[in-house]
Amino acid sequence: MVAATVVGWFAVAIGMCVAVPQLVRLARTRKVDGLSLIAWRSILAMNIAWAAHGIRLGQFALILTNSMGLCSTLPILYLLARQFRRNLLVLMLPSLVVAAVMITVDHVLGSAAYGVAAITVALVSNLGQSMQLVRAPHVSGVSPLFVTLAVLNQAVWVVWGLLVKDAGTVMTASTVCGLTSFNLLWYVLRRLGLRAFFPHATLEMPPVVAVGEP
């Protein structure tokens, strides 16, 4: 089906660049206010696991999308590691463990079980970001284009799932689309002046030094 192919590649294109605005904003401002470490750890795990899933299935689109995603996710985690003054490899270790579990599930139990695992990690990622948007004293570190593209990406996957009559994709993308829509709405409300609920302490970026700067 031509329409499904076009929509599918459109979703791939959005998926490859969805995190780029967040990386640019973080690198430019050095502000992480409103960003969720849990979310980006989960995104790293999904990038790795989905790339491996694409390799297993021989699906170039999955490999390309998630390989390009890693190019944005890894620098973002590096900057977050600096924020929390933690070793990058230690910070990434939970992501690598989750990715290894997902890949094992994929190879041992098959695609259906892998889909359940992938949905779970995606929900953890988006719920983590939702909680941060609700509780963070400030959300100036979040890129508005990132939260907008996240909604658009899932909406396009819903359309693709409807075109190819894939109930699993429709259910997954619809659920995640709902969470990303909530994140976008809450981000807008926070920028308009809504205060944080149950706020936690704000962490400041360490002073910028000349040595070791990217």
Query: pLDDT tens digits for 61-82?
Result: 778 888 888 998 999 999 888 8
Reply yes or no on whether the pLDDT at 206 is more than 70. Answer: no
pLDDT digits (tens, 9 = 90+) for 122-132: 889 989 999 99
| Share above pLDDT 90 across residues of the chain, in percent, rounded to a whole number | 39
Residues 6+ apart with CB under 8 A from 52: 99, 103, 106
Reply yes or no on whether the pLDDT at 200 is more than 80. Answer: no
Q: Max alpha carbon distance in the chain (Å)?
A: 54
Q: What pTM does this model have? A: 0.82
Q: How far is CA 165 from the centre of its chain?
A: 25
Length of the chain: 214
Give the CA-trace dihedral at 64, 66, 68, 73, to 10 degrees. Answer: 180
Confidence of residue 151 (pLDDT cuts 50, 70, 90): very high
If one compares 92 and 203, the residue with the highest pLDDT of the two is 92
Residues 160 and 154: their CA atoms lie apart, in Å, by 10
pLDDT digits (tens, 9 = 90+) for 46-66: 999 989 988 887 878 778 888
Residue 148, Ramachandran bin (φ over 0: left; ψ between -120 and 50: alpha; else beta): alpha
If one compares 41 and 112, the residue with the highest pLDDT of the two is 41
CB 16 within 8 A of CB 69: yes
CB 63 within 8 A of CB 111: no
Q: Report the amino acid identity of residue 186.
A: W
Q: What is the mean pLDDT of the chain?
A: 85
Q: Which of 79, 184, 205 is nearest to 133 (CA)?
A: 184
| Share above pLDDT 70 across residues of the chain, in percent, rounded to a whole number | 92
